Amino acid sequence: MLPLSDVRILAISQFGAGPYAMTQLADLGAEIVKIEYPATGGDVGRYVPPGASDGDSLYFQSLNRNTRSLTLDLRDPRGQAIFHELVRTSDAVFNNLRGDQPAALGLTYADLAPFNPAIVCVSLSGFGSTGPRALEPGYDYLIQAYAGFMSLTGEPDGPPARGGVSFVDFSAGLAAGLALVSGVMQARATGIGTDVDVSLLDTAVSMLNYLAAWTLNSDFRPERLADSSHPTLYPSQVFETSDGHLVIMCAKEKFWIALVERMDLPELRDERFRSFGDRLENRETLIPLLKAEFRKHPTDWWLDRLRGVVPCAPVNTVEAALADVQVEARELLVEVEHPSLGTLRQTASAVRFPGKQRDHRPGSALGADTEEILRERAHLDDETIAELRRDGVV
């Protein structure tokens, strides 16, 4: 049995952060009923290229694995009544709407406690439910700018840059998933649910962590550094090789000693490079020496010489990263059979437990599970379902 196999979640979410959170929980066994608004064609992620057609896409499938789809108009009183009936037998209601929308749609604990006092209501928004930006839409791109990430990314003489992956979305999704599971545990112990307010900005600012501590408590000011260097630990950065690029991370003194031994460059044994502080102070002398040496040989030559002794990595393309032997050994790619797209290869959840893993299935077509859910959990008959469908409620 998977660890969350007895957890039921109603999810009003779309695009990236929210669906990512739900996929992580679904992979661990949770039942996710994705509620989509019928009049607008459901989750906008269904229409994101490439590979988008007929209300489905590779993007949507990568973020909605193992979820069921229920079309329901929550603004219609009949839709609300159905939703409330589903809440009675659910553990949590999750949304990633704008900060003011959960209250407007009746998705808060105060709204839903009358139907299930133990319901956990998790909201993941751009800026949270309070503060002057609560009404603004928030996206990963914007939050990377707001939180200062872009000011630290790129070369010093270039423009600010966004990280190539939507890591704020995904990190916020993980934070929201942790919050939801924590809330459910508390509710099962006490019988009382709660509201949980998570935001992209909250997550991003928390990720500033030691940079924030340095900024708040010293005269250190983070900035973009050449070669994606660590701000204080040298050498920890990208180096050009004769045929590509290599990352070296001397995060401990023993790794610097090992690097000096493996490079066999007498100049590196200079007293000016003995400690972290020495190398930081004399980095303008040290780094050119290392750059010149690394350019003499190809990346694989350096990897053969350093891997397992000095922390190092090639700068892979995404294609190369997915083909890495460690990725294969860790079974980090899964296959999902899709009725029209065929066999889809996707990244697995990073959280897995020993034993049998979930048999993955694709995210459902828009509204594909509506009638089944309405019969099983809302206890509606065929005539009522047909009427609701005619009126656009489902």
> For residue range 106-141, what is the model confidence (pLDDT) as tens digits?
999 999 999 999 999 999 999 999 999 999 999 999
CA 216 to chain centre: 27
Whether the link from the prior residue into 132 is cis, omega within 30° of 0, is: no
Q: What is the 3-state secondary structure (H, E, C) of 44-110?
A: HHHHCCCCCECCECHHHHHHCCCEEEEECCCCCHHHHHHHHHHHHCCCEEEECCCCCHHHHCCCCHH
Task: State the Cα–Cα distance between residues 97 and 105, nearest whole angstrom.
Answer: 10
The tally of CA atoms less than 13 A away on the side-chain side of residue 122 is: 31
pLDDT of residue 358: 82
How far is the C-alpha of 365 from the C-alpha of 218, rounded, in Å?
Answer: 53
Average pLDDT for 77-81? 97
Ranges of each domain in the chain: 8-206+336-390, 245-314
How many whole angstroms separate alpha carbon 181 and alpha carbon 302? 44
8-206+336-390 has which fold? Rossmann fold (3.40.50)
Strand partners, 11: 34, 94
pLDDT, the chain, mean: 96
Least confident window among 103-107, 148-152, 217-221, 350-354: 350-354
Known catalytic residue at 169:
yes
Query: Identity (one letter) of the amino acid at 307?
Result: R
Which pLDDT belongs to residue 355?
80
Q: Which of these is catalytic: 73, 169, 195, 197?
A: 169
Q: How are beta strands 333-338 and 342-347 bridged, if at all?
A: antiparallel
Return the closest-CA partner of residue 234 out of 276, 293, 270, 265.
276
